[in-house]
Amino acid sequence: MNLIFKKATIDDLNFLVETRIEVLKAANKLDDSVDMSLVTENSYDYYEKSIKTENHIAYLVFDNDNFVGTGGISIYCVMPTYLNPSGIKGYIMNMYIRRIYRRQGIALKILDLLVHEAKCRGISFISLETTDMGKSLYKKYGFQKMEDEMILSN
């Protein structure tokens, strides 16, 4: 294996969107008949804006020319709080490793890179959503289950 970890740039826009759709289909167990055109269009807009402003950092991993996996962190601001006086937060998302490359430490390396990016910016509050498959990695890394957060979804 010859793994290459690449920080994504605006030149990777098409690839970022393609992998985002692949991740969403896998995470939500969607087949190719599901219309993802609106998500695709909005993902292009999101990546184009947020990569340029550095409000999203993504890493792509390749084994020579073969895509292995990806992960990203979105950086955003909310009102400052006692525990987060800057109000700046990081949100880990789009973590995905192709099946044949799993359980080889690749996701851990991506997570390290993303957390390092956040810490270099002074971000101390990092959250994420996880699938059952990813829970053990995040737990071992030190992420803790949040008890007091709620969501309203339509």
Tokens 């010859």 belong to residue: 2
Residue 151: pLDDT band with limits 50, 70, 90: confident
Would you state the pLDDT for residue 147?
A: 80
**Domain residues for 50?**
3-140
User: How far is Cα 140 from Cα 3, in angstroms, rounded to an integer?
Assistant: 23
**Cα–Cα nearest to 130, from 31, 38, 23:** 23
pLDDT mean across residues, the chain: 92
Greatest pairwise CA separation for the chain in angstroms:
47
The pTM for the full model equals 0.89
122 within a domain of the structure (yes/no): yes
User: How far is Cα 107 from Cα 4, in angstroms, rounded to an integer?
Assistant: 13
With beta carbons less than 8 A apart as the criterion, state whether 74 and 56 touch. yes
With beta carbons less than 8 A apart as the criterion, state whether 57 and 123 touch. no
21 within a domain of the structure (yes/no): yes
121 within a domain of the structure (yes/no): yes
Specify the number of domains making up the chain.
Answer: 1
Q: What's the CATH code of the domain at 34?
A: 3.40.630.30
User: How far is Cα 91 from Cα 71, in angstroms, rounded to an integer?
Assistant: 11
104 within a domain of the structure (yes/no): yes
Residue-wise pLDDT tens digits, 32-61: 999 999 999 999 999 999 999 999 999 999
Amino acid at 94: N
48 within a domain of the structure (yes/no): yes
91 within a domain of the structure (yes/no): yes
96 within a domain of the structure (yes/no): yes
147 within a domain of the structure (yes/no): no
